[in-house]
Amino acid sequence: MFENFANVWTIVGLADDVIAVKPLAMKVAGERVVFFRDANGKAAALIDRCPHRGVALSLGRVDRGEIECPFHGWRFDGAGRNCRVPWNPDARRERLGAISLPVREAGGLLWLFTGCATDTQPSVSDTFSVEGVVVCAQFVTWRAHWTRVMENMLDMPHLPFVHRRTIGKELHRLGGQRMDVRWEERPYGARITGSVDGAPRPGFLEYRFPNTMELFIDPPGKLLRLFAICVPEDEATTRLLLLTTRNFARTRLLNPVFRMMNRRIAKEDQLVVESSQPAAVPPPAEEASVRTDAPTLAFRRLYRQKLLGSSAVPPPREKSEEMAGDPCD
Ligand code: FES
Ligand SMILES: [Fe+2]
């Protein structure tokens, strides 16, 4: 499960996206996942595949903290335990559970662990705990492998080309001879800073392993940070979650303005990134790179060391009595 993206925490949306009365379905790294609220109101996640006949639980309903399969009405709680098997009062329900996944609600965000168990916690940026910060969220879907999308978010030299009319306008006008980019390791990933002809560029980026970029562009005395979270849906598709966090102009009425800006900038990147071949980032030797590619090459190293080839193992399923007695066995 979760091939090449296993056993990591990823933001998948806002905590408020999970509501009490309806399942929320999404695809993460090749797996269908369903979120709902359990009897205690806590967000829960299951692999979105009924253990009975494999149908999507997310097509069913949520009732008093249990999700009910739309096919034969089996019910599961937030831990995946089977709570009901209609017509079969003698069923050994303890053997008929669904696969549950660790979930956290932290910093107003919804986090999923791409594995079956963990004793770790997600690493949440301090930005979300700054008093008075509001978060504006939006999704865009790109037909690109998430590693290409992530690298694009960590790349500075493209700004005056791809974004010459928006966020790269000033750099485009300024020109210059030499750009330097620094990748400074941090416990959660890295900080990336840049300079042109020796003059430091305003703002900086942070990379949070595995798939988050935080851009710090605080105006004087204020907080303004953009997050790009590259959630793999499958090998060909990335759901890009864009978050704008700010502690000024806090009214929700302004959210559409921030969303419009983000959409425009993301669209500029999308066309270029979707055209990259091969789909996933190849070994470094297979592409030509230069000094200013240091951050993307550092990301590539982490990807190859920690994610490529990774896979989560589902818990073993005991053979049920119903199966043992099956005449087709
Ligand atoms: S397929 Fe889910 S209850 Fe039968
Ligand atoms: Fe860009």
Spatial distance between the Cα atoms of 60 and 23, rounded to a whole number of angstroms? 8
Counting residues of the chain whose pLDDT is more than 70, the rounded percentage is 97
| 322 pLDDT above the threshold of 70 | no
Strands of the chain, DSSP E: 9-14, 24-28, 31-37, 43-47, 61-63, 66-68, 75-76, 82-84, 100-101, 103-106, 109-113, 134-142, 179-186, 189-196, 199-200, 204-208, 212-216, 224-234, 237-246
How does pLDDT run across 78-98, given as a tens digit for each residue?
999 999 999 999 999 999 999
How does pLDDT run across 100-111, given as a tens digit for each residue?
999 999 989 999
pLDDT of residue 328: 40
Q: 225 forms bridges with which residues in the sheet?
A: 216, 245
Task: Indicate the top mutation candidate among 57, 59, 61, 74 to test ligand 1's pocket, ranked by most ligand atoms within 8 A of CB.
Answer: 74
Which residue's alpha carbon is nearest to atom 4 within ligand 1? 72
What is the token pair recorded at 314?
A: 């589902």
Q: Does the 18-122 domain belong in CATH 2.102.10.10? A: yes
| 257 pLDDT above the threshold of 80 | yes
Does ligand 1 have an atom closer than 6 angstroms to the CB of 46?
no
Does ligand 1 have an atom closer than 6 angstroms to the CB of 52?
yes
Banded pLDDT at 297 (limits 50, 70, 90): very high
Any idea which residue has 């700010």 for tokens? Answer: 246
Q: Are strands 237-246 and 134-142 parallel, antiparallel or unpaired?
A: antiparallel
Q: What is the mean pLDDT of the chain?
A: 94
pLDDT of residue 50: 98
pLDDT of residue 174: 87
pLDDT of residue 141: 97
- 132-307: what fold? Naphthalene 1,2-dioxygenase Alpha Subunit; Chain A, domain 1 (3.90.380)
Does ligand 1 have an atom closer than 6 angstroms to the CB of 69?
yes
Spatial distance between the Cα atoms of 182 and 175, rounded to a whole number of angstroms? 19
What is the atom index within ligand 1 of the atom nearest the CA of 60?
Answer: 2
pLDDT of residue 284: 84
Counting residues of the chain whose pLDDT is more than 90, the rounded percentage is 89
| Residue 236 CA, ligand 1 centroid: distance in Å | 30
What is the atom index within ligand 1 of the atom nearest the CA of 72?
Answer: 3
How does pLDDT run across 184-236, given as a tens digit for each residue?
999 999 999 999 999 999 889 999 999 999 999 999 999 999 999 999 999 99
pLDDT of residue 326: 52
Question: Domain limits of the chain?
Answer: 18-122, 132-307
| 315 pLDDT above the threshold of 90 | no
CA–centroid distance for 299 within its chain: 16
Angle at 152 between CA 270 and CA 130, to 5 degrees: 105
